[in-house]
Amino acid sequence: MRSLTWLFLGVAGSAAIFASAHAGDLNPAAVTYTLPDKIEWKQGSARNQQAILAGDPSKPGLYIVMVKWLPGGMSHPHFHPNDRFITVLKGTWWVGTGTKFDPESTVPMRAGTFVTHFGKQVHYDGAKDEEAVLLITGEGPATSTPAEEK
């Protein structure tokens, strides 16, 4: 009987801990989060959308943004002043380097791929047949300087 009581208390205690961990609210001083359906996407260029998750890319300091490339959207050769660290979250992102815009020479970066864009190095990128979603981390200000060979 004593073992049964301990078993019952153990199960009841575990259930109470599990319920309280899932039923309560998180302390916003400890953790904040944004569910996918609450992410605020804004039009970037005509070819992509952006969501700022942390920081401000236009100001000095760390920033984290998501970029959603729409099918067929591709940037032209450009560079950024600082390194950018990118993880492909969804789809296939296509990346090319150099000042000559040639979408056929781009290389596919599939979901799960980690990429570093080095500061002041020319590249172009985007999506072909499917949407591509990226998580980009960098140091602001994050400007983009055109560098296409005409």
In a domain, 16, yes or no: no
CB neighbour list of residue 79: distance below 8 Å, 6 or more residues apart: 119, 120, 121, 122, 123, 144, 145, 147
Q: What is the pTM of this model?
A: 0.82
Q: What percent of the chain clears pLDDT 70, i.e. is strictly above it?
A: 85
d(CA 115, CA 136): 9
54: in domain: yes
Domain at 81, CATH number: 2.60.120.10
Task: Kindly state whether residue 89 falls inside one of the protein's structural domains.
Answer: yes
Backbone angles phi, psi at 149, to 5 degrees: -75, 130
Domain that holds residue 86: 36-146
Structure token pair of residue 31: 């953790």
Assigned domain for 4 exists: no
Q: Assess if residue 21 is contained within a domain.
A: no
The domain tally of the chain equals 1
Distance separating alpha carbons of residues 85 and 59, to the nearest angstrom: 17
Q: What is the pLDDT of residues 80-91, one digit of tens each?
A: 999 999 999 999
Contact of 30 with 114, CB cutoff 8 Å: no
The answer to whether position 24 is within a domain reads: no
Q: Is residue 22 part of a domain?
A: no
The string of pLDDT tens digits covering residues 107-118 is 999 999 999 999
pLDDT in tens, 7-55: 444 545 544 444 444 557 999 999 999 999 999 999 998 899 999 999 9
- The verdict on residue 56 lying in a domain is yes
